[in-house]
Amino acid sequence: MENYFYLIVILPLAGFAVNILFGKRINSEKFSGIFSSLTVFISFIISILALTEILNLPESSRIIYIDYLEWINAGSISLSFRFLVDPLSVIMILIVTGVGFLIHIYSIGYMHNDENYHIFFAYMNLFIFAMLILLLADNFVLLFLGWEGVGLCSYLLIGFWYEKKFTGDAAKKAFVVNRIGDFGFMIAMFLIFINFNTLNISDFNGILSTGNFNINQPLLITIALLFFAGATGKSAQIPLFVWLPDAMAGPTPVSALIHAATMVTAGVYLVARNSILYVLAPDATFIILMVAVLTAIITASIAIRQNDIKKILAYSTISQLGFMFIALGNFAFAVAIFHLMTHSFFKALLFLGSGSVIHSMNDEQDITKMGGLKSKMKITYLTFIIGALAISGIPPLSGFFSKDEILYKTMTEYGSLIYIIALLTAGLTAFYMFRLVALTFNGQPRYDTEKVHPHESPAVITIPLIILAALSAIGGFIGLPHYLGLPNLFGNFLKPVFEKSLALRNSYSPEMVHPVSLELILVVLSVIVAVIAIIFAYKKFSGKSEFPESKGFAKVLENKYYVDEFYDKTVVNPVLKSSEVFFWKIFDIKIIDGFVNLFSGTFLRLADSWRKFQSGVIQDYTTATVIGIVIVILYLLFK
């Protein structure tokens, strides 16, 4: 396997290099788009090969390590480019290269006629490269390389249309906010190295599963929370979620690939990859649950009052990521990954669908200025409906299976209160999605029909939509709930990865057996909530044409709870102000440098006063000499 597997990362990297170095000279959209998509396609094929290799192994030993180059050797640190291929990473690379390939194809059409077409594809390829490194790395530092690499690509692609004023701000915000999380990630690495003398992921997990650790050791809680701090950055959870809505400044395929389907799930992957750590530190895991529940409900509530089609989807993404962390918080690691997968299908679909709409509306993103697009863009409409139903949890679409399993785990692990919040969030999700659908596709046009002529997008855009719609529709069947009595392929495949963690969890908190009826009741309940929310939203917004200014709490929601303003007031501005006014202009210039100048000035003044002795008059010198001699003589006489 190692004789070809490296190509999975090398090819996208080559796609990047060729496009960035020679793209301009080749000057062919066809070449850039197809070459770049092809590299991702081959990576996808390699992922499938990896899947078959893994499946050929006996279940208990489905793990392959591949060592390539050495990387950093210093003292007792020894790191290499070492890949870890197991069911978890295989699923992840299949999602990234599969969905990634579809979005590359879509971009061929979407980015048509862009001045920097080749650079766009270069960055997209670089992203695939970095994301695969992140997922395959077997040491934390290499994972961090991928982690930072995807952050860089996110930065580059958010700011892709650099001539617009706000893209630069959004891009920088994304990078800097992520770096705040990375601070936690780095400290976690240091703690692991100092205490376990390794930075290798499998070694670290191996040490943790020896059984020599008590539950909730402070050290493990600290490491767990620091990694989660990194995850709140990358996966946009409270308190660091603020960068993701702004990130919508980038081209829509970027939002679909990076800011919905793949990169933002890296935090989920990180926690799942270290599942044993979180099982050993249930207090930390509980904090994850709390943060996730809050994030999910708060951002879903923001989404119901947004009018920018991409912003709604961005808040929806944060909320759905919250759902994945809720699953992790309930130790349902495989379920989190399952939702990660179905979400990547339907959210990529929704973003690409919104891109198709935006494109045909001449870059309009405000859904209050749309309406009636149903008849004009049939494929976009139908696929979008499938995506919206999937995220709302309508059976038998994919989102239904993954979300219901999360809701069920929430109920059985921590009981009704958190369950009710999660259920409410699910209801809000259905509501804001169908508000979006109703305002965009139903009713009468609210745009200038003279100037804007919406039309269906070309096949290069609609075909990826159709494929993603199919995946969103049937993707859930590989993870069937056990009450149906059929095998859960997805869960079984991931089982060996989380086996030890779950056994450990069982040893100190045995799983209770619940009647199937409970699960069925919950399913019915959540479907009822979703259906009611959908009907309500459809009725309310389908014919709406007036959009009065919002008041009261609605205004707070519209302004996203003023979180950005709060951060500006409490962190950003004080740091900038104090740095400029105090640290620089007073402390550095007046005090430190003032002291330096005073010091040298004193020498000048001293020298100046001594210069008076050098009068140049012979008599003065003679006098001084005589006085000196007298002093010496007196000293010798009386000493």
Rounded to whole angstroms, how far apart are CA atoms 282 and 217?
A: 10
Paired residues of 73 in beta bridges:
78
Output the smallest distance, CB 437 to other proteins, in A: 35
For residues 239 and 458, which CB has a smaller minimum distance to other proteins in the complex? Answer: 239
Output the smallest distance, CB 591 to other proteins, in A: 9
Output the smallest distance, CB 117 to other proteins, in A: 14
DSSP assignments along 508-569, one per residue? HSPPPP--HHHHHHHHHHHHHHHHHHHHHHHHHHHT----PPP-HHHHHHHTGGGHHHHHII
User: Residue 230 in 3-state DSSP?
Assistant: helix
For residues 23 and 98, which CB has a smaller minimum distance to other proteins in the complex? Answer: 23
For residues 152 and 297, which CB has a smaller minimum distance to other proteins in the complex? Answer: 152
For residues 168 and 206, which CB has a smaller minimum distance to other proteins in the complex? Answer: 168
Q: Is 7 exposed, middle or buried (0-12, 13-18, 19+ CB in 10 A)?
A: middle
Residues 6+ apart with CB under 8 A from 608: none
Would you mind telling me the total number of residues written for the chain in this entry?
639
For residues 226 and 467, which CB has a smaller minimum distance to other proteins in the complex? Answer: 226
Output the smallest distance, CB 73 to other proteins, in A: 5
Q: Is 146 exposed, middle or buried (0-12, 13-18, 19+ CB in 10 A)?
A: buried
Residues 6+ apart with CB under 8 A from 329: 285, 286, 288, 289, 290, 292, 293
Rounded to whole angstroms, how far apart are CA atoms 118 and 153?
A: 15
> Under the rule (CB under 8 A), what is the footprint of other proteins?
20, 69-77, 141, 144-145, 148-149, 152, 155, 159, 162-165, 167-169, 171-172, 175-176, 179-180, 182-183, 186-187, 189-191, 193-194, 575-576, 579-580, 583-584, 588, 592-593, 596, 600
For residues 127 and 346, which CB has a smaller minimum distance to other proteins in the complex? Answer: 127
Output the smallest distance, CB 251 to other proteins, in A: 16
Torsion sign over Cα 133, 135, 136, 139:
positive
Output the smallest distance, CB 504 to other proteins, in A: 28
DSSP assignments along 57-116, one per residue? S-GGG--EEEEEEEEEEETTEEEEEEEEESHHHHHHHHHHHHHHHHHHHHHHHHTTT-TT
CA-closest candidate to residue 173, choices 230, 247, 229, 228: 247
For residues 22 and 162, which CB has a smaller minimum distance to other proteins in the complex? Answer: 162
CA 428 to the chain's CA centroid: 22
For residues 176 and 630, which CB has a smaller minimum distance to other proteins in the complex? Answer: 176
User: Residue 308 in 3-state DSSP?
Assistant: strand
For residues 28 and 625, which CB has a smaller minimum distance to other proteins in the complex? Answer: 28
Output the smallest distance, CB 167 to other proteins, in A: 7
User: Does an H or E element contain 125, and which?
Assistant: helix 117-136
For residues 246 and 519, which CB has a smaller minimum distance to other proteins in the complex? Answer: 246
Output the smallest distance, CB 222 to other proteins, in A: 12
Rounded to whole angstroms, how far apart are CA atoms 79 and 252?
A: 37
Is the separation of the CB atoms in 257 and 40 below 8 Å?
no
Output the smallest distance, CB 107 to other proteins, in A: 20
Output the smallest distance, CB 292 to other proteins, in A: 24
